Structure 1
């Protein structure tokens, strides 16, 4: 059985991907750049500066920093209040903890948004460690964020799994020496997440539970039975 469970937050534990993409699109338009939503979706979960290098290759480093700063302000002002947690997250954390696992969060977000997410999840009693955007300069797929979470858990990557909604989460987890598992709540396909190295992919974290407990794929009925017993 795996011992460490490192979770991404945005798109994995809270339903925030559309809001994040819309706020970035707004900031880009204010700077004179029209980038289709579908294009930004391809880079959802990627480090913000890397995203802009791909979306507006003509943009300077200074412009990218200004756009990201404005996006953060727009997101907090116009979109953050609409973010909701996905169902069953607290239950999943409880089951993992009761089975002897340790839960950590590894997310690029920080500040007001991160505090809001923690409040929405209402699962502080099951979260053993956090690593956020305040701890690193670069976001995923850079593995250092996951590495910090693993060090705080005092667990080796070989005994742990990174759970996320994007191929960049999987890449970061694998580079940090952990396994990777994926959920479909961020807009990426099962094929994309599997190709990125996820040993299991499910509709959401609730459906992923049995895979996490066993460290391998598990029939859907067994997942539901585990949650019923924990209720």
Structure 2
């Protein structure tokens, strides 16, 4: 049994990926860039500035900052109210903590959105630590969010599992020294998540729970391989 579990939030605990993608597409369109949703989906969960460097390489750093700021406003105004929590999140957290493990969150979301997500999940009594975008400047696959969560939990990387919905969550966890597992609720295929190093992949958190409790053999991790091909 692992001592700690670090969970991503968007796409893992709350159903927000379509809304995030649409708000980014809206912000890009307002800045004169037409980018298909299918392209943005490839970078869902990646640090925002890195996403824009890949999706609109011609945009300047100032343009990227303006687009991301605009996206945040659009998301909070038009899309955040429609976000719902996935089922069984509270039950999964309860079971893990009852088995003696500790739960943390590691997400680059922040401010109003993060507070909204915490209210939706309604599991504060089972969450021992959080590391969010208010704490760390860089998003995943940079490992600093996961590293901060580990430090707050007071455990070492090999004693923990990073649970997310994207290969970027997996990359951050692996760089921080954790095991990694994933759910399919973020729009990435099982094969992609396995190639990113996840020892277990399931349709949602409830289906993933047995692997978190008892472990499961999986492919050897090579997190840099998927990131180079993205």
What TM-score do you get using the length of structure 2 for normalisation? Answer: 0.94
Shift of 1:214: 1.1
Give the whole-Å Cα distance in 1 for the aligned partners of 2:202 and 2:21.
23
Give the whole-Å Cα distance in 2 for the aligned partners of 1:89 and 1:38.
28
Correspondence 1:1-231 to 2 at 5 A: 1-216=1-216
Give the whole-Å Cα distance in 2 for the aligned partners of 1:39 and 1:65.
20
SS in 1 for 2:172: helix
What TM-score do you get using the length of structure 1 for normalisation? Answer: 0.93
Q: How many residues align?
A: 218
Q: Which runs of 5+ in 2 are unaligned?
A: 218-230
Give the whole-Å Cα distance in 2 for the aligned partners of 1:215 and 1:120.
28
Task: Report Cα offsets for 1:182-207 as digits up to 9, x if no partner.
Answer: 10000000000000000000000111
Give the whole-Å Cα distance in 1 for the aligned partners of 2:123 and 2:55.
36
Match of 1:226 in 2: none
Give the whole-Å Cα distance in 2 for the aligned partners of 1:215 and 1:176.
19
Task: Report Cα offsets for 1:18-60 as digits up to 9, x if no partner.
Answer: 0000000000000000000000000000000000000000000
Give the whole-Å Cα distance in 2 for the aligned partners of 1:95 and 1:27.
40
SS in 1 for 2:182: strand
Task: Report Cα offsets for 1:123-180 as digits up to 9, x if no partner.
Answer: 0000000000011111000000000000000010110000000000000000000000
171-180 or 207-216: bigger deviation:
207-216
Poorly superposed stretches of 4+, deviation over 4 Å: none
How large is the RMSD of aligned CA atoms in angstroms? 0.9
